[in-house]
Each structure stands twice: as C-alpha cells, then as structure tokens.
C-alpha cells in the first residue's frame, strides 16, 4: 500500500487531509500520518497544551485544587487510552502497527469538537428557522455525537491496528471504561473531601 506521495524525495502528507478522511471512515486517511516518534509527539503536544493553558488560567484565578484536578483529569484522558492500546496491541502481536495508530488517534481527537460544533451550528440554523427544539432533540444529538466518537474509535482499531471485530470492541471497552474511572474517580474524591457528596 502506498503510504504517501513523494515530490523530490520528500513525503507529502497532510494532517488536515488525514483528519478529514478518517472522520469520513476512509482507510486511506491513515496514510497521511507518519509512523515516527516525532510525529507522535507532534500529535500529542496540542492535546496536552490546551489543558495546561486552562489549568494556568484557573491557577491565576485562585482555583488551585480545581486547576490541578482538571489538569490531572485531562492528562489521564489523553495518555491512558494510548498506554492501554499500546499494551493490548503488543499483547495481540500488533505492536508494529501501533505508532501510526497512535498518531492517527491523537489527531482524530479533533473530529469530536468539530462534530459538536457542527451539531450546535445545526441547532442554531433550525432555531433561526423558527423551529423549537426540545430537550429530547438535544439529548439525541449528544448521544449521536458520542456514538460517532465510539464508531470512529472502532474504525481506527480495525483499520489502524488490524484487529478483529471482537478485539476492536474489547480495546474500546478497556480504554474507555478505564479512562472514565480514572478521570471521574479523583473528581468524586475531591467532591467527597469538600463535603459535596
């Protein structure tokens, strides 16, 4: 399979094109991501930079505990699925595929905010047309965005790691459940310590 086009010996890949193609469940989108450690670090940097900036802003407003809790939760949400997926890929003999999967998975995180923004824009257009949306429509759209995210994760596990259907589902369950527990656990402990629960 041709992983990228070349011009003068230099790979011509496009992260944006890769994100758009993967968002449309096109397997050729994987070819737009290089399987190198530097590419992986480049894909990880923005996912960690935004939470760090948010934590610094919270610290500036005096919310020390909230800042550290939010930063910890964000870092765990980013790194834990990568650690678990690499471990499972190695266990299943798919470690050679993991680096490209990791890069594609990191960049594909940006499809969720785009899907959410498109949903909100759609709601705004509908409301401008005079149609009133009830809570069921909003909840249904939110569930649809979450379902899209899970389907995208499944697609990447199948196409990027070359997993069977069953293993792809298992990878999603392990990564998502462990991440939810790891992210919500400390928040619940903080709430309990502060008397909120």
Q: What is the pLDDT of residues 152-168, one digit of tens each?
A: 999 999 999 999 999 99
- pLDDT band at 123; cut points 50, 70, 90: confident
Q: Are 30 and 104 contacting, i.e. CB atoms less than 8 angstroms apart?
A: yes
- Please tell me whether residue 55 adopts helix, strand or coil conformation: helix
pLDDT of residue 134: 75
* pLDDT > 90: percent of the chain: 52
Average pLDDT over the chain, rounded to an integer: 85
More reliable by pLDDT, 186 or 162: 162
Four-residue CA torsion sign, 173, 42, 107, 51: positive
Rounded Cα gap, residues 69 and 43, in angstroms: 23
Q: What is the predicted pLDDT for the residue at 191?
A: 67
Q: What is the pLDDT of residues 168-182, one digit of tens each?
A: 999 999 999 999 999
Q: Facing residues of 6 across strands?
A: 11
- pLDDT score at 12: 65
Q: What's the predicted TM-score (pTM) here?
A: 0.81
pLDDT tens digits for range 85-122: 999 999 999 999 999 999 999 999 998 888 888 888 88
Q: Is the pLDDT of residue 3 over 60?
A: no
Q: What is the distance between the alpha carbons of residues 144 and 125, in angstroms, rounded to a whole number?
A: 18
- pLDDT top residue among 50 and 4: 50
User: How confident is residue 140, by pLDDT bands cut at 50, 70 and 90?
Assistant: confident
| Residue labelled with tokens 């050729």 | 28
- Per-residue model confidence (pLDDT) at position 77: 92
- Which tokens hold the place of 99? 């680096």
């Amino acid at each position: 399979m041709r992983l990228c086009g070349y011009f003068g010996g230099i790979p011509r890949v496009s992260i944006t094109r890769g994100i758009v193609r993967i968002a449309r469940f096109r397997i050729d989108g994987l070819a737009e991501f290089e399987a190198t450690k530097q590419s992986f670090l480049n894909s990880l940097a923005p996912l960690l930079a935004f939470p760090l900036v948010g934590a610094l802003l919270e610290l500036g407003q005096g919310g020390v505990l909230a800042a550290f809790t939010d930063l910890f939760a964000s870092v765990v949400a980013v790194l834990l699925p990568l650690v678990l997926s690499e471990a499972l890929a190695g266990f299943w003999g798919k470690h050679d595929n993991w680096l490209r999967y990791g890069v594609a998975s990191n960049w594909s995180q940006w499809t969720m905010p785009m899907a959410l923004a498109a949903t909100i824009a759609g709601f705004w257009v509908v409301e401008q047309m005079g149609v009133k949306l009830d809570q069921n429509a909003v909840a249904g759209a939110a569930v649809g965005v979450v379902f899209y995210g899970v389907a995208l994760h499944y697609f990447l596990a199948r196409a990027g790691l070359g997993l069977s259907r069953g293993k792809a589902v298992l990878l999603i369950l392990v990564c998502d459940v462990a991440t939810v527990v790891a992210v919500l656990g400390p928040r619940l402990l903080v709430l309990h310590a502060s008397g909120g629960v």
